Amino acid sequence: MSRGPSVAVIGGGIAGLVCANRLAQLGISNVVVFDTGRHGPGGRCSSRHVNISGRLQTFDHSAQYFTVSDSRFAKVVSYLDRKGAIKIWHGKLGTLKRGKFTEDKNLTQAFIGKTGMEDIPKCLAETLNVKQGTWAGNVVWEGTAGKWNVDRHGMFDYLVIAHNGKCADKLMSNAGAAAVHKLTQVRFSDRLNPKDKRMHLCSIWALLVCFPKSLELKFEGAHVFDDEDISWLANNTAKLSNGHQSPQQECWTVFSTRQFGTKHKCSQENIPPGVEREVKSRLLEGVRRVIGVTCLPEPIYTRVQLWGAAVPLNVLQGGEECVFDGRCNVGICGDWLTSPCIQGAAVSGLALAEKIHKHATGENKSSTSILPEFKAADGEVIGAFPTNSQMVFHKT
Ligand SMILES: Cc1cc2nc3c(=O)[nH]c(=O)nc-3n(C[C@H](O)[C@H](O)[C@H](O)COP(=O)(O)OP(=O)(O)OC[C@H]3O[C@@H](n4cnc5c(N)ncnc54)[C@H](O)[C@@H]3O)c2cc1C
């Protein structure tokens, strides 16, 4: 049975995994997903497990929840729901200003992974050929053969770049697809320079912290809008516990503002101990300040992590949702092409799968426009997701 043309997907985040699944649905099942993640795919939608005094705790250390406002994405969500990978976060979510919490009554449905956000990529990867812990370092378009040579992994008819930032830039620099390479050039900053026609990515610090007792706050997740250092905090224990909380441990995920990310930027793989100490103490102090208490219980676990290429501040203009160059069978998908959130990444992956399918079947041989024109992404919050989405998802 024909499995269609072969496709190499470089990046096993939401965009790459959704793209590979949609390709399979369309009859192109000869797809290999390469992902660097050692513990599992997912990229910026993942969880960290830590043994704290004999208890295994889960922290969602990147994406916190997602919303649905796109009907194509709703089908993906429906699949995740049928597979039991997601649930609705029923805890109180809202905003925190000067110690005062206001519930977001417009937030119709906030979805989370059933036992952590990593359940989402795990479920999407179930039926795919994913090469885990695999770094694709070199790709070359062999024009005469009309194929992509991917490292030592062989030749593929199509190449999908499903990641962004420096990695994509480096990967494409000698690939023989100049127009696509131009798009992957990146600038790291916390604010947009509209004259600079590159993708802008910001950096965010995450603090994972476990307290020996409950902070007894009346919310489970809050966007913080008026603090220099803190942009989000969430009670992982309550979020993932289904109401069965351990009174001895309460685990929180805290995100910095992007300005804080720029100010304390360093190599994310090699954080100098001095920076780690300072970031930890400033973020803990920030938590104390934004929840409006005089002191916090002494944490029994803390860890800071830098998301160096956290979220795009701008997205590609033109509304195409993905980029495809039919002259050399290469496409790009990811949140930076649509909207910097789970839904945005998924929609981009879906759009690229359709493009490749149409190209492979000869239905449409054209490329998408690949001018490096960016516009500011909507919203200021992490993920810039549509929290007041009008679409209410129904079980199918
Ligand atoms: C701190 C933080 C909080 C967020 N919170 C939310 C939220 O609450 N809600 C929401 O909707 N969105 C949120 N987002 C945004 C959301 O996580 C992203 O928009 C989405 O996950 C992006 O998916 P992606 O597939 O485009 O990219 P990624 O998730 O970045 O996936 C790219 C993958 O490619 C891999 N890769 C890179 N280079 C190579 C290579 N050379 N070879 C092989 N593999 C490679 C990477 O390891 C990664 O796994 C948050 C992001 C961050 C950083």
Quick one: average pLDDT of 180-197? 87
Could you identify the atom of ligand 1 that is nearest to the CA of residue 340?
19
Reading the block at residue 368, the tokens are: 């998408």
For the cut 50, the answer to whether the pLDDT of residue 104 exceeds it is yes
Q: Which of 5-9, 163-167, 214-218, 302-306 has the least mean pLDDT?
A: 163-167
For the cut 80, the answer to whether the pLDDT of residue 313 exceeds it is yes
Q: Please tell me the distance between residue 124's alpha carbon and the centre of ligand 1 in angstroms.
A: 14
Of the pLDDT bands very low, low, confident and very high (cuts 50, 70, 90), residue 388 is: very low
Which one of 34, 45, 128, 387 would you pick to mutate in the ligand 1 pocket, going by the greatest count of ligand atoms within 8 A of its CB?
45
CB 300, CB 210: distance < 8 Å: yes
Phi-psi region of 256 (alpha: psi -120 to 50; beta: other; left: phi over 0): beta
Of the pLDDT bands very low, low, confident and very high (cuts 50, 70, 90), residue 1 is: low
For the cut 60, the answer to whether the pLDDT of residue 384 exceeds it is no
pLDDT value at residue 328: 94
Quick one: average pLDDT of 162-169? 90
pLDDT value at residue 225: 84
Query: What's 2's DSSP letter?
Result: -
Q: Which amino acid is residue 90, in one-letter code?
A: H
pLDDT value at residue 396: 44
3 state DSSP class of 115: coil
Could you identify the atom of ligand 1 that is nearest to the CA of residue 204?
1
CA–CA separation, 69 and 86 (whole Å): 17
CB 189, CB 177: distance < 8 Å: no
Mean pLDDT of the chain: 90
pLDDT value at residue 387: 45
pTM comes to 0.95
Domain ranges of the chain: 7-89+115-196+314-378, 200-312
Which amino acid residue places its CA nearest to atom 39 of ligand 1? 11
Which amino acid residue places its CA nearest to atom 19 of ligand 1? 341
Of the pLDDT bands very low, low, confident and very high (cuts 50, 70, 90), residue 206 is: very high
Which amino acid residue places its CA nearest to atom 18 of ligand 1? 341
Answer CATH for 7-89+115-196+314-378 from 3.50.50.60, 3.40.50.970, 3.40.50.1950, 1.10.1740.10: 3.50.50.60
For the cut 90, the answer to whether the pLDDT of residue 248 exceeds it is no
For the cut 80, the answer to whether the pLDDT of residue 247 exceeds it is no
pLDDT value at residue 245: 62
The 10 Å CB-count burial string (b at 16+, else e) for 171-201 is: bbeebbbebbbebbbbebbbebeeeeebbbb
Quick one: average pLDDT of 363-384? 71
Q: Which of 61-75, 243-257, 281-295 has the least mean pLDDT?
A: 243-257
Around ligand 1, the residues with Cβ closer than 6 Å are 10-16, 34-37, 43-45, 62-66, 135-136, 162-163, 167, 171, 204, 206, 255, 307, 310-311, 334-335, 340-342, 344-345, 382-383, 385
What residues have CB less than 8 Å from 243, skipping those under 6 apart? none
- With residue 93 as reference, give the H or E element that holds it: strand 93-97
CB 119, CB 113: distance < 8 Å: yes
CB 97, CB 114: distance < 8 Å: no
User: CA separation (Å) from 167 to 142, 162, 361?
Assistant: 21, 11, 31
Which architecture does CATH list for 200-312? Answer: Alpha-Beta Complex (3.90)
pLDDT-above-90 percentage for the chain: 72
User: What is the full DSSP assignment across 231-289?
Assistant: EEEEEHHHHHHTT---TT-EEEEEEE-HHHHHHT---TTS--HHHHHHHHHHHHHHHHH
Q: Please tell me the distance between residue 13's alpha carbon and the centre of ligand 1 in angstroms.
A: 6
* Counts for the chain of helices (H) and strands (E), in that order: 9, 23
pLDDT value at residue 389: 44
For the cut 80, the answer to whether the pLDDT of residue 235 exceeds it is yes
